[in-house]
A = this chain, B = another copy of it.
Amino acid sequence: MRQLEERILADGKVLPGGVLKVGSFLNHCIDTRLLSDMAAEIATLYADAGVSKIITIEASGIAIAAAAGMAMGVPVIFAKKHRTTNVDGSVYMTVVHSFTHNEDYHVVVARDCMGIGDKVLIIDDFLANGSALRGLIDLVEQSGAEVVGMAACVEKCFQAGGDEFRAKGIRVESLASIESMSDDGKIVFRS
């Protein structure tokens, strides 16, 4: 999506260690015009996929997931981080590893949110190593629902997540796909 790529080049900041800061327009202060356009693009990409629900994980995926849900006319579930393993039988739970904080955390979804017959689109702002999205796949599969695909605003193709999911046969759509970033700030998109 050219509009997003151009915005990343204009306002994104590359930090050492493969970090891309897009807080000024994507995931801290959100440009809602861009948000609408990204949601419309996801709705177009998955128009014929029969999506019945969207799932994301708190917190930074919520805005794009909610916008896409409005554009597609389907409910949006956001999986919640949970402090303990102490949950009752009303939820599905999985474990996600955070590379940012180097720790595991639990993520839950209420069982009555989705189930057999649902076709679920997984959405997040970033797709990098894929740890959070792997957790969401687990939650969808626990419920008996089907994963129809994933959509991310920004994919870091130099981390393994996206291509690993594609190798498993999962449809992955990324609105901006970054092939490489150098420490001096040069960004190359996958063509």
Contact = CB atoms under 8 A, between A and B. Distances in A.
Contact of A78 (B28, B76, B112): B28
Interface string A59-84: 11011001101100111111010010
Interface in A18-37: 23-24, 28-33, 35-36
A33 B76 CA distance: 11
Nearest to A65: B63
Given A62-B62, A67-B66, A70-B67, A77 B24 contact: no
A36 B70 contact: yes
Interface residues of A, number: 32
Given A59-B78, A78-B28, A80-B28, A73 B33 contact: yes
A113 B29 contact: yes
B32 A73 contact: yes
